[in-house]
Amino acid sequence: MRATNLRGRGSRWLLSAAACTTLILAATAGQPADAAGKAWKPAALEKALANPSRPQADRDRDADRKPAQLMTFFGVEPGMTVVDIIAAGGYMTDVLAVAVGPKGKVYSQNPPVLLKMRDGIYDKEITERLAKNRLPNVVRVDADLPATAEIPPGSVDVAVTAMNFHDVYNRDPAQGQAFMKTVFTMLKPGGVFGVTDHVGTDGADNAKLHRIPKHIAVESAKTAGFVVEAESDVLAHSGDDHTKVVFDPTLRGKTDQFTLRLRKPK
């Protein structure tokens, strides 16, 4: 993974719920950390995420979604309070639950309208994922942002949204800007907002393609008060020329994506 510093450049589960919980706690209890005893080593997090406490379908997706690299790039550490924004079925929620460990907390947020889409598929998926307290460090939040009753302002260390900002912004740019500001308010001073999305091009029908030009996300972040601290090419795919809808069967799961680390100033 190459990271470029930009500062200043403005299924069903195969295991019982009890067994899964035990495995998650075991995976996180003895995790290798840096000298300060906090940060994950990438290889150690990869090993923890390979644990069968996670559904096989999720682990099959890891090669394309590279969760260990993303978590270390975003700075997710054990004990943190984090939020998966627009979590859908909860793939990233599960990743975050491992990354923050049993002493951390994960808010898994979904707008109610999303949970009703496609005959409620995302509601069914997230319900099954969290059934019988399988992920005890996860709090489900079925509410539109800012959801301040569930997620107090200034309480979150890291927020993550994966391939969602394009839908919010393309529906209404003002709504996209408000989205950024809401996350900014949610974070603690010094907190991070990690954003990944499908790369779009200016002049294209990005709403139809489900894409967004990176510079729009960057500009929206800066307007909301974020410092665009760094970007990574961990999810880049040179074979994507940005002209196809992201659901195209020849491209799905392998779109060219940008990855941004946005920092709320202290």
Domain count, the chain: 1
AA identity, residue 28: T
pLDDT value, residue 18 = 37
Say how far apart CA 212 and CA 116 lie, in whole Å: 25
CA 233 to each of CA 3, 51, 197, 256: distance values in angstroms, whole numbers, following the listed order: 7, 26, 12, 9
Using the Cα atoms of residue 64, residue 47, residue 188 and residue 226 in order, give the sign of their dihedral. negative
Q: What is the pLDDT of residues 94-127, one digit of tens each?
A: 999 999 999 999 999 999 999 999 999 999 999 9
Distance from C-alpha of 132 to C-alpha of 65, rounded to nearest angstrom: 27
105: tokens are 């907390």
Is residue 257 scored above 80 in pLDDT? yes
pLDDT-based confidence at residue 42 (cuts at 50, 70, 90)? confident
224: number of Cβ within 10 Å? 20
Half-sphere exposure of 135 (CA within 13 A, CB side): 29
Q: Which is nearest to 230 in space by CA: 242, 240, 221?
A: 221
- What is the average pLDDT across 219-228? 98
Residue 87 — pLDDT band, cuts 50, 70, 90? very high
Q: Taking residues 63-69, what's their average pLDDT?
A: 96
pTM of the predicted model as reported, rounded to 2 decimal places: 0.86
CA separation for the pair 197, 213 (Å, rounded): 9
Indicate if the pLDDT at residue 13 is higher than 80.
Answer: no
- Residue 34 above 60 pLDDT? no
Q: What is the predicted pLDDT for the residue at 53?
A: 87
- List of residues 6+ apart from 118 with CB closer than 8 A: none
Tokens of 166: 């394009």
CATH number at residue 167: 3.40.50.150
Domain of 239 in residue numbering reads as: 3-263
Specify the pLDDT at position 54: 93
Rounded to a whole number of angstroms, the CA Rg of the chain reads 18
Predicted pLDDT of residue 39? 86
Taking each helix axis as running N to C, give the angle between helix 67-74 and helix 42-49, from 0 to 180 degrees, rounded to the nearest 10.
130
Question: Measuring CA to CA, which residue among 13, 21, 18, 108 is closest to residue 56?
Answer: 13
pLDDT tier for residue 5 given thresholds of 50, 70 and 90: very low
CA distances from 164 to 79, 136, 207, 240, 259 (A): 26, 25, 12, 19, 12
**Count of CB atoms situated within 10 Å of the CB of 234:** 18
**DSSP 3-state assignment of 144?**
coil
CB-CB contact of 192 with 168 (8 Å) = no
Q: Which of 241, 160, 214, 150 is nearest to 6 (CA)?
A: 214
pLDDT in tens, 170-181: 999 999 999 999
Query: What are the pLDDT digits (tens) for 132-166?
Result: 999 999 999 999 999 999 999 999 999 999 999 99
